[in-house]
Structure 1
Amino acid sequence: MLLSKLLLLPGAVASSVTIYMHSVPTTSTPQTPVVPSPIPLAQIDYDADKSTGTVTSFTPPHGSYASDHLLRIGIHDSASGSWRGIVTSAASFADEYKKKFVVHVDEKGEVYHVGFGTSAKADSSGVDVEVEVVRRGAGAKPVLNKPIVLNAEGKLADKAEEKTFFQKYWWMIALFLLVQFVAGGKE
C-alpha cells in the first residue's frame, strides 16, 4: 500500500478514504438486512490536487443477496450514523460490469460525497475498478443589473415623464390637417 502511494503521488500528500457498503431493508426483508452493519467495500488513495486516485483494496459484496437487492455505497459516519453516497442494486457488482468510484472533494481536499457507477466491459484489460476524483467547482455568479442612481437628495431619480398622445403625435395631426386643408380647397 505504501508503494502504491509513492508511485501514484510522487512529491504530493496522499489522502485516503474508506468506502462502506450497507444493505438497505426492502419490503420483502424489512427486518433482516443481508449486510447487518456497514462493512468496508473499498479503500481509495487519492490526490485532490492532481485529481488522481487508485483503489488499494476492493472487496465486492458476496453472500446471499438477490440481484435486485439494494445496497448503500458511500461514506459512513459512525458517530452520527449518517451516510453520504448512493444506493445501487447488488447486480452492479456482477463480473460483467466495470465499476467506477467517483470521489467528490471540496476545496480543502476532503471527501464530501462518493458516487458509484458501472458500465459494460469493452475489453479484457484487467481493470475492473476505476477511480475519478472531482473537485467542487465554483457556483454560478449572479448577473447583476446596472447600479441604482440616486439624485442629489439621495432619492431615486424620477423616471422620465410619460408624454401624452398629443405630445407624441402632434406632427401627424398637423400633417393630416394640412392634407385635409389642401385637398378640401380643390372642390
Structure 2
Amino acid sequence: MRITALLSALCAAAAVVHAVPRTAQIYMQPIPSSSQAPSPLAEVSYDPAALSFSSVISYDAPEIPPAARLVRIGLYDAKARAWTSGTTVAAADNFSKGYSPNIVLSTDGSGTVVSVSCKGVAIDAGQTRDFGPKVVVLPETRGKQPQLNKPVVLSPEGRKVEPEQEKTFLQKYWWMIAIAVFIALSGGGGGEK
C-alpha cells in the first residue's frame, strides 16, 4: 500500500516538473482605425497545470488615438495578418491613467488560448503597491447541470395521473387485526371441572 502511494506521489511530482509554461502574445487594435495593424500589448506566461504561476512577461502601454473609444484585444498572427483567437472589445478608458490592466485569458481543455479580454482596475495607492498589469487564466470547465424533476405522467385521456396516497397501518392490516380479535374471543373454550 505504501509503495503504490509513493509511486503515485513520484509520478505526480514528475508531471508537475515536466509542465512547460506557455506564452501568449496579446495584441490590441483601435476600432475606428481598422486600417492600422494591431500592435503588441503584452506577452504573458501561463501554465495550464498551475494557474497561479501566470505572469506578465512584458507590457507595452498602448498609444491609442484620441478619436478611438474602443479597442480590439486578442491573439494576432502578424505573418498571416489574421486574428488567431476570439477577440473582445474593451473601452479605451481601461488603459488611461489611474487604471491597471488585468488581462484575462480563456483557455480550452488542452490549455490553448481561446479568447483574450482586458479590464482596467482602478488603482488605490493607499491599498496596494502593485500597480502593474496582471494576468488571470480562466480554464474551460463544465457548467452546472440542471436538476430536473420527475417527468409528468399522463393518463390515456391526457390528464395528469395523481399518485396513490400511502395507506396507514390500520388500512393495510385490518384483516389481520380482525382475525386476531376473532381468535382471542372464540378460543376461550372452557375446561369443565
* Same-fold status (TM-score > 0.5): yes
Are 1:21 and 2:37 an aligned pair?
no
Query: Contact 1:17–1:45 at 8 Å: present in 2 too?
Result: yes
Structure 1 pair 91/35, CA: closer, same or farther in 2 (3 Å)? farther
- 2:42 is aligned to 42
Whether the 8 Å CA contact 1:68–1:91 is kept in 2: the answer is no
Q: Where in structure 2 are the equivalents of 1:102-121 lying within 5 Å?
A: 102-121=104-123
Structure showing greater relative contact order (alpha-carbon pairs closer than 8 Å, 6 or more residues apart): 1
1:71-119 Cα offsets, whole Å, 9 max, x none, are: 1111225648345222123222122111100111111011001111012
Whichever structure has more strand as a proportion of its residues is 1
* Contact persistence 2:90–2:117 (CA under 8 A): no
Q: What corresponds to 1:128 in structure 2?
A: 132
- Deviation of residue 68 (structure 1)? 5.1
TM alignment of 1:92-107, pairs within 5 A: 92-107=94-109
Identity %: 29
Cα deviation for residue 160 of structure 1 reads 10
CA distance in structure 1 between the aligned counterparts of 2:159 and 2:93, rounded to whole angstroms: 71
Q: Name the TM-score, length of structure 2 as normaliser.
A: 0.59
1:125-155 C-alpha deviation (Å, 9 max, x unpaired): 1432011111111033354565899xxxxxx
Q: Quote the RMSD (CA, aligned, Å).
A: 3.2
What secondary structure does 1:84 align onto? coil
Normalised by the length of structure 1, the TM-score is 0.61
Q: Which amino acid aligns with 2:142?
A: A
Paired residues in the alignment total 139
Aligned pairs for 1:171-182 within 5 A: none
Q: Which segments of 5 or more consecutive residues in structure 1 lack a partner in the other structure?
A: 1-9, 26-32, 150-156, 163-187
Note the alpha carbon deviations across 1:7-33, whole angstroms, 9 max, x for none.
xxx8331011111111212xxxxxxx2
Deviates more, 1:109-118 or 1:119-128: 119-128
Contact 1:76/1:84, CA 8 A, preserved across alignment:
no
Which residue identity lines up with residue 66 of structure 2 in the other structure? Answer: A
Report if aligned partners of 1:21, 1:72 keep a CA contact under 8 Å in 2: yes
Task: Indicate yes or no: 2:81 matched with 1:74.
Answer: no
Matched with 1:141 is: 145
Q: Are the counterparts in 2 of residues 103 and 113 from structure 1 also a CA contact under 8 Å?
A: yes
Where do 4+ consecutive residues of structure 1 move more than 6 Å?
159-162
Moved more, 116-125 or 102-111: 116-125
Letter in 1 for 2:145: K
CA distance in 1: counterparts of 2:136 and 2:43, whole angstroms: 14
Shift of 1:69: 2.6
Tell me, yes or no, if the aligned pair for 1:16 and 1:44 is still in contact at 8 Å: yes
